Amino acid sequence: MKDITPPQLAELIRQSRRVVALTGAGISVESGIPDFRSKGGLWERFDPWEYATIQAFEKNPAKVWVMLKEMDEILRHARPNPAHYALAELEARGHLMSVITQNVDNLHQAAGSQNIIEYHGNAHRFVCLTCRGHWPRAALDFDQTPLYCYCGGLIKPDVVFFGEAIPEAALYKANDLVINCDLLLIIGTSAEVAPANILPEVAKNNGAIIVESNLAHTRLSLYLSDYFLQGPAGRMWPLVLEQLKQITTQ
Alpha-carbon distance of 30 to 39, in angstroms, equals 15
Say what the pLDDT of residue 42 is: 74
Alpha-carbon distance of 16 to 169, in angstroms, equals 26
Give, rounded to a whole angstrom, the gap between the first and last alpha carbons of the chain.
30
Say what the pLDDT of residue 135 is: 93
Per the residue annotation, which of 84, 108, 120, 124 is the catalytic one?
A: 120
Say what the pLDDT of residue 250 is: 58
Is 217 an annotated catalytic residue? Answer: no
Mean pLDDT of the chain: 94
The string of DSSP letters for 117-142 reads EETTEEEEEEEETTT--EE-GGG--T
Torsion of CA 48, 173, 6, 201, to 10 degrees: 70
Q: Distances in Å between the alpha carbon of 166 and those of 47, 172, 210?
A: 21, 10, 23
Sites in the chain below the pLDDT cut of 70? 36-41, 250
Say what the pLDDT of residue 39 is: 66
Contact 124, 75 (CB under 8 A): yes
Say what the pLDDT of residue 35 is: 77
Contact 217, 190 (CB under 8 A): no
Q: Distances in Å between the alpha carbon of 77 and those of 32, 48, 204?
A: 8, 23, 37
The domains found in the chain, sorted by start residue, are: 1-32+80-120+165-250 (3.40.50.1220), 34-77+125-159 (3.30.1600.10)
Find out whether the peptide bond into 80 is cis, omega within 30 degrees of 0: no
Tens of pLDDT along 16-35?
Answer: 999 999 999 999 999 999 87
* Percent of the chain clearing pLDDT 70 (strictly above): 97
Say what the pLDDT of residue 137 is: 86
Based on its alpha-carbon atoms, the radius of gyration of the chain, rounded to whole angstroms, reads 19
Alpha-carbon distance of 155 to 139, in angstroms, equals 12
Q: Do the bridges between strand 116-118 and strand 19-23 make them parallel or antiparallel, or are there none, so unpaired?
A: unpaired
Say what the pLDDT of residue 40 is: 64
Say what the pLDDT of residue 177 is: 98
